Amino acid sequence: MPNTPLLIGQGVCAVAHDQTIPENEYDLIFTIFSSIGLVCFVPEDKMNEVTAISGSGPAYVYYFIDSMARFGQNNGIDYETSLKLASATFLGAAKMIEQTKSSPAELIQKVTSPGGTTIEAMKHFYEKDIAGIIDEAMTKCAKRGYELSV
């Protein structure tokens, strides 16, 4: 399951691992796809979950970035500048996870301070159970994958 950022060499391709396929064929698959992004081997019965995470994931990220940019626009910052700020923030945050090997929870703790601005937004996310909403949406995505594969 590839995702669209592979078009710019920044995507991910999950490949179903099957014991019946010779290892040299997996090596070839890895060589081809790793030249344009990250390659992960996953059990075939988890491909719908992979679709929910990385296949459809770019759309979720675009939605969140657009929401942040629209906040800026609605509060006096032009949309293009807001979009650059939000996009660069996502890129930087992803690189922080990748390069520091810290968990998202650890990095959230480093950004938030008691009584500060970030904690106010995070408290609202927790109160509205944004993580639960994301889980429900991704479950619907995976479920639809199972329906389509029947």
pLDDT at residue 21 tops 90: no
pLDDT band at residue 18, thresholds of 50, 70 and 90? confident
In this prediction, residue 98 carries a pLDDT of: 94
Considering the chain, what is the average pLDDT of its residues?
94
Q: Which of 130, 13, 108, 10 is nearest to 60 (CA)?
A: 130
pLDDT at residue 91 tops 90: yes
- Say how many domains are in the chain: 2
* Start-to-end Cα distance in the chain: 17
Q: Residues 55-74: what's their mean pLDDT?
A: 98
**Residue 139 within a domain:** no
pLDDT at residue 2 tops 90: no
The residue segments making up the domain with residue 39 are 4-44
Looking at the fold, whether 64 and 87 belong to one and the same domain comes out as yes
Is the alpha carbon torsion for 84, 89, 90, 95 positive or negative?
positive
